[in-house]
Structure formats: structure tokens, C-alpha cells
């Protein structure tokens, strides 16, 4: 999926017009349309503002990853990274156990 295709999908999911999104990031709706048609590529600064306005990571919007992390998930990850090592290990142990249980339930449900 191209940058423009992701931009269209995310903008429509947020029920924003091109003009609304343009105003939110400090540009015009016409420019948003050009980004969506992949006619031009935004600067890193504008792409970052677009990602923020759409509530996703810049990596997801740019196509670097297919994992759509919303701002709440990213905030939690940032909080974990500043914890002391022992606390991070405990958080990851809990997360790993929850993921393992989810995968087991999913496997048995099939």
C-alpha cells in the first residue's frame, strides 16, 4: 500500500475531509489530495504532523511497517522504555504470558 493509499484510508476512517485534514496539519485540502494521489511526497515534518493528526505512527503511515500502532500504544511503549531494567523485565513477563494465553485460546478455538 502506498503512502497516498494509507493516507486516504486513515483520513476516511477518521471521517475527515481533505480540507479538514489540511487545516489540522497546516496545509490545504488540495495538497492533501496530491499526497493521496501520490503525485507529491510530503516533507518529513508534514508527514509527521499527518501521522499525529491521524493517530498513527509515522512508520505505519509511510509504509515502513504494517503494524498500526495508535498513539495510546506508542505512549505505553515509551513509558515502558524509561522504566528501570527490572521493572521492564516484569512488564514483559506479564505481556509475554498474556500473548501466550491469547495464542493458545486462538489455536484451540479453530
Between CA 30 and CA 94 the distance in angstroms is 47
Residue 68 has a pLDDT of 78
Indicate the class that CATH gives domain 3-62.
mainly alpha
**CA–CA distance from 57 to each of 79, 87, 101 (Å)?**
16, 25, 27
Tell me the CA distances in angstroms from 49 to 17, 55, 85, 88, one per residue in order.
16, 10, 32, 30
The list of the chain residues with pLDDT below 70 reads: none
Give the pLDDT score at 35: 98
Please write the tens of the pLDDT for every residue from 6-31: 999 999 999 999 999 999 999 999 99
pTM score, whole prediction:
0.71
Domain limits, the chain:
3-62, 71-109
Closest CA to 4 of 63, 71, 69: 63
Residue 6, pLDDT score? 95
The enclosing H or E element of 60 equals: helix 58-62
Amino acid at each position: 500500500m502506498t503512502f497516498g493509499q494509507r493516507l486516504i484510508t486513515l483520513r476516511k476512517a477518521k471521517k475527515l475531509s481533505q480540507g479538514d485534514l489540511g487545516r489540522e496539519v497546516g496545509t490545504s485540502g488540495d495538497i492533501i489530495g496530491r499526497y493521496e494521489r501520490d503525485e507529491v511526497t510530503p516533507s518529513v515534518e508534514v508527514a509527521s504532523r499527518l501521522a499525529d493528526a491521524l493517530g498513527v505512527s509515522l512508520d505505519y503511515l509511510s509504509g515502513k511497517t504494517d503494524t498500526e500502532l495508535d498513539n495510546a500504544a506508542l505512549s505505553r511503549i515509551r513509558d515502558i522504555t524509561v522504566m528501570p531494567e527490572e521493572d521492564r523485565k516484569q512488564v514483559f513477563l506479564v505481556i509475554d504470558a498474556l500473548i501466550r494465553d491469547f495464542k493458545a485460546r486462538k489455536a484451540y478455538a479453530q
